[in-house]
Amino acid sequence: MIPEKHILAGKKIAVLVETEYIPDEIRKYQSFFGELGAEVELLTYLWGQGERVIVSDVTEPGKMPETLTVCKDVVDANPNDYAIVLCAANYVACRLREIPPMGNLGSPEEIRSPSAVRFMASAMMNPAIVKGFLCHALWFMTPCPELLKGRKVICHTVVLSDVLNAGAEFVPDESHVYADRDLVTGRSAADLDIYCNKIIETYEVNNNENK
């Protein structure tokens, strides 16, 4: 499927990122959705700063990590401002759902309290927003199992047990990508092309239904 050139004109897309992000994944979102007319905003915790530099994952010996400057704090973001909300792959969800401050022992009562978890939970409750979770990203929703219960998903095997325990239904689709209404999930960053196209396909259907 070749998306219409300006299908996302005037729309904003949120991409949640953190240290140990995958550089090629972020570049793909910026180029793919940007070429369709969207404004792609990167969100993370800024910890009171105007901007923050985060560091990429490194998967090959001798390879130097890349850096990314993020200027938008998820604490101040409203998911309803975005047509599409994505959580990047790898350990992004693990880091963003940590209970502040770092080193805090936390408690069962606090697991839903991190701002990024509340942001994604709010997005999940709005069917007009297309949500995308790639690879490990469904870890984001395990603190809110009622939002995953009964949803059909695919994910990396590393998080599969947690996702099943949250009540989701695993769909081992051969494409490694699956869409359940407004929710798009993918197995890993190796499936980026299919994943991005499925997000657009889902957005088109969702947009027509909500007109």
User: How would DSSP label each residue in the chain?
Assistant: ----TTTTTT-EEEEE--TTB-HHHHHHHHHHHHHTTPEEEEEE--TTSS-EEEEB---STTPPPPEEEE-EEGGG--GGG-SEEEE-STTHHHHHTSPSSTT----GGGTT-SHHHHHHHHHHT-TTSEEEEETTGGGGGTT-GGGTTT-EE---HHHHHHHHHTT-EE---TTSEEEETTEEEES-GGGHHHHHHHHHHHHHHHHHHT-
Give the pLDDT band of residue 6 (cuts 50, 70, 90). Answer: confident
Q: What is the per-residue pLDDT across 48-94, written as a single tens digit (0 to 9) for each?
A: 999 999 999 988 888 899 999 999 999 999 999 999 999 999 999 99
pLDDT per residue as tens digits for the range 143-178: 999 999 999 999 999 999 999 999 999 999 999 999
pTM confidence score: 0.94
Q: What is the mean pLDDT of the chain?
A: 94
Residue ranges and CATH numbers for the domains of the chain are 12-209 (3.40.50.880)
